[in-house]
Amino acid sequence: MSRSDVKKVVLAYSGGLDTSVIVPWLRENYGCEVICFCADLGQAEELEGLEAKALASGASKLIVHDMREEFIRDYILPTLQAGAIYERKYLLGTSFARPIIAKHQVEVAEAEGADAVAHGATGKGNDQVRFELTYFALNPRLKIIAPWREWTIKSRQDALDYAAEYNVPVTATAEKIYSRDRNLWHLSHEGGVLEDPWHGPEEDMYQLSTSPQQAPDLPEALTVSFEQGVPTMVNGQRVGLVELVELLNSIGGKHAIGRVDLVENRLVGMKSRGVYETPAGTILYTAHRELESIVLDKETLRAKDRIALDYADLVYNGRWFTPVREAYDAFVATTQRTMTGDVCMQLYKGNLIIVGRRSPFSLYNEDLATFGPDAVYDQRDAEAFIKLYGLSMKVQALMKK
């Protein structure tokens, strides 16, 4: 499909500097109608005034989908239940946001009769892959337009100059040095002083969490309850998924929970440095892991841990809509049938201190674990077990004599 064949394009639109200048660029270079699509994933105040901004930039309309509940239910929870963490630290807040945005973008393109979809991801980043693999999986007939791989804009200042030339309303300035992505699950920070991995983050950069030094001097008790792997209650109060994540973000942020400074390996082959704030995610991952420790048997837990590494990679690499992810989900779902119970913890100056965990399906047997007298376990049985378990080592040692 050539440029002249594109009559209507749906742009994944945030209202930030990049996507704002993409609107007039598409009109100028493709001569097409531009429909802006915005996904509400909990970025809050960033949605205010968005329609007026999109129309002023030259779009024919703005379409907004509230996807917060679906985002948590169908993307965050499966990843949490799988225990997937990328490179030991990253809870994948941007990674699984892109497939759901692209999925709805494709649906809007089909409903509006569009020829193409466009995104504002750069040619250096992971997001271009996440968007486009989703387009491939859901509607490969749509033309994909990635302006960062086509236009002559090379810097933030170039984009600001372009916006001024075409009277595009933007709030960005050259002094706003950080590139941020925010949703219900996290807030990421990249660029600026963070590009030097030796340079520590500046405190005024953080927006969701207070510093450990400024956090309360007294710990706060917190109990999270799960039903079949789904968090349903906080401190005994039943709340919906969106409210639960918002509440834990507030509580965790107050106690400096969920700050991560990470040098990660991007899919495209380079290393990058990012700082993430994920208070609710850190609490839920910790609580879920503690509940698993008493509910799952050793072999199942080890199998889950092996899958978690692959699951994190496929989410990070944009391969959400693949058969292997569905197969992993099917396995993980079986492990969540008994994942019901409560985890109690204390939050204190960036630390999550586990106090207790309980479940009606707990495999922990106090009669077996006790150091006191018991009538369940005959300690003399261990002798024969050890002789069999160590037989190969004994044979190898005898061969050396």
Question: Which of 98, 130, 273, 357 is an active site residue?
Answer: 98
Please indicate whether residue 18 is annotated as part of the active site: yes
| Coil vs helix vs strand at 183 | coil
> Contact, 112 vs 35, CB < 8 A?
yes
> Contact, 87 vs 315, CB < 8 A?
no
Residue indicated by tokens 């569009």 = 114
Please indicate whether residue 179 is annotated as part of the active site: yes
- Residue 255 sits at φ, ψ, to 5 deg, of -105, 20
In terms of Cβ atoms closer than 10 Å to its own Cβ (0-12, 13-18, 19+), residue 1 is: exposed
Please indicate whether residue 310 is annotated as part of the active site: no
Q: Which two tokens stand for residue 241?
A: 């998924």
Question: Which of 27, 57, 95, 127 is an active site residue?
Answer: 127
How would you list the strands of the sheet with 237-238, edge to edge?
237-238, 230-234, 220-227, 341-348, 351-358
Q: Angle at Cα 66 formed by Cα 331 and Cα 340, nearest 5°?
A: 35
Question: Which of 14, 18, 273, 357 is an active site residue?
Answer: 18
Contacts with 357 (C-beta within 8 Å, 6 or more apart), sequence order: 290, 291, 293, 294, 341, 342, 343, 344
Please indicate whether residue 98 is annotated as part of the active site: yes
Question: Which of 57, 95, 179, 272 is an active site residue?
Answer: 179
Catalytic residues: 18, 98, 127, 179
